Amino acid sequence: MAQLNFKSELTGCFAQPCAENPSVAMVEAAYQHHNLDWRYINCEISPENLGDAVKGARAMGWAGFNCSLPHKVAVMDHLDGIGESASIIGAVNCTVRRDGKLIGENTDGKGFLDSLKELIDPAGKKIVMFGAGGAARAIGVEVALAGAAKVTIVNRSTRRGEELAQRLTDKTPVAAEFVALDGEFDVPADTDVVINSTSIGLFPDVQGKVPVNMDTVTSSMLVADVIPNPPQTRLLKEAKAKGCTTIDGLGMLVNQGVIGIKYWTGIDVDASIMRAKLESIFGAG
């Protein structure tokens, strides 16, 4: 993503994968809808070229860029500063040029939080979160900073789960605990929000089962999934059948895009345009 200055003396020419990139399509749809003369382009960067790529973005006057795995941690060494939550999360997925400096932010968790806040205020809520990878770290930090009372991290790998619980305890006010996965997890009855932030259920593993005992999930709980493809995961379908309100992974993906565009252009774009573009790619459910 970038603001490309077509008056510059260098015109890029590079081979790009032909398949439609959903993030590019989503952001470009917003630019077109709002008549923004901006471009969001996808460049494949190898780890050894990351430093040069960031220097190039600076030199070309890019307003910022998103970065995906495996660059989310390594990119921090090449930036001029890191935002508060990105610094606690320990990963950057979005950079923005501010006063000539390239600052690293993390919009994954913020995107999820915006989806959540459309339905409930996380302040004071008890949250059960499956997973302790990058998405879980970002979500855990943001719900903690938003005032959640308790986050229970349920994960397969003890090392990652304990590290995340410790990170939340050390760096945010939330009460965090780790529970190692052992069969299906029984959700405590006083839980307000259940989140799948593992990669279980991502296409093509659409029948993948999040290890939750659905008998312990009740209609008063809000159930969220980070998986964008398919939007209606097995978990969300089962939760809906129990009468739960649900949030799909498209909301998080759209909202992190809305936040990124606001950072780069200063403009609030219409999230529904972006969601419609993603639904045309992934299906609505």
Binders in 159-188 for ligand NDP, by CB under 6 A = 160
Cβ nearer to ligand NDP, comparing 52 with 118: 118
Residue from 25, 36, 202, 276 binding ligand NDP (CB under 6 A): 202
- Sign of the dihedral through C-alpha 251, 197, 177, 104: negative
Cβ atoms of 168 and 141 within 8 Å: the answer is yes
The conformation of residue 12, written as its DSSP 8-state character, comes to -
Residue 240 among the catalytic residues: no
Segment holding 33, helix H or strand E:
helix 22-33
Binding region for ligand NDP (CB under 6 A) out of 58-66, 182-190, 226-234, 260-268: 226-234
DSSP, collapsed to helix, strand or coil, labels residue 7 as coil
In contact, 235 and 212? CB cutoff 8 Å? yes
CA distance 14 to 11: 10
Single out the segment in contact with ligand NDP by CB under 6 A; choices: 8-16, 54-62, 114-122, 197-205: 197-205
| Of 2-10, 26-34, 56-64, 126-134: span binding ligand NDP (CB under 6 A) | 126-134
> Which of the stretches 27-35, 186-194, 198-206, 239-247 binds ligand NDP when contact is defined by CB under 6 A?
198-206
Q: What DSSP state is assigned to residue 9?
A: S
Catalytic residue among 7, 55, 72, 125: 72
User: Which member of 252, 258, 259, 269 binds ligand NDP (CB under 6 A)?
Assistant: 252
Task: Please pick, from the candidates 58, 126, 156, 242, the single residue that binds ligand NDP as defined by CB under 6 A.
Answer: 156
Spell out the residues 6+ positions from residue 204 whose beta carbon is closer than 8 angstroms to its own.
Answer: none
Q: Is there binding between residue 209 and ligand NDP (CB under 6 A)?
A: no
Rounded CA separation 148/146 (Å): 6
SS3 32: helix
Question: Does the footprint of ligand NDP cover residue 213 (CB under 6 A)?
Answer: no
CB-wise, 64 or 161, nearer to ligand NDP? 161
Residue entry with tokens 């405590």: 188
Which one among 104, 134, 140, 231 touches ligand NDP, defined by CB under 6 A?
134
Q: How far apart are CA 24 and CA 107, in angstroms?
A: 16
Residues annotated as part of the active site: 72
> By the criterion CB under 6 A, which residues form the site for ligand NDP?
108, 111, 131-136, 155-157, 160, 198-200, 202, 226-228, 249, 252-253, 256
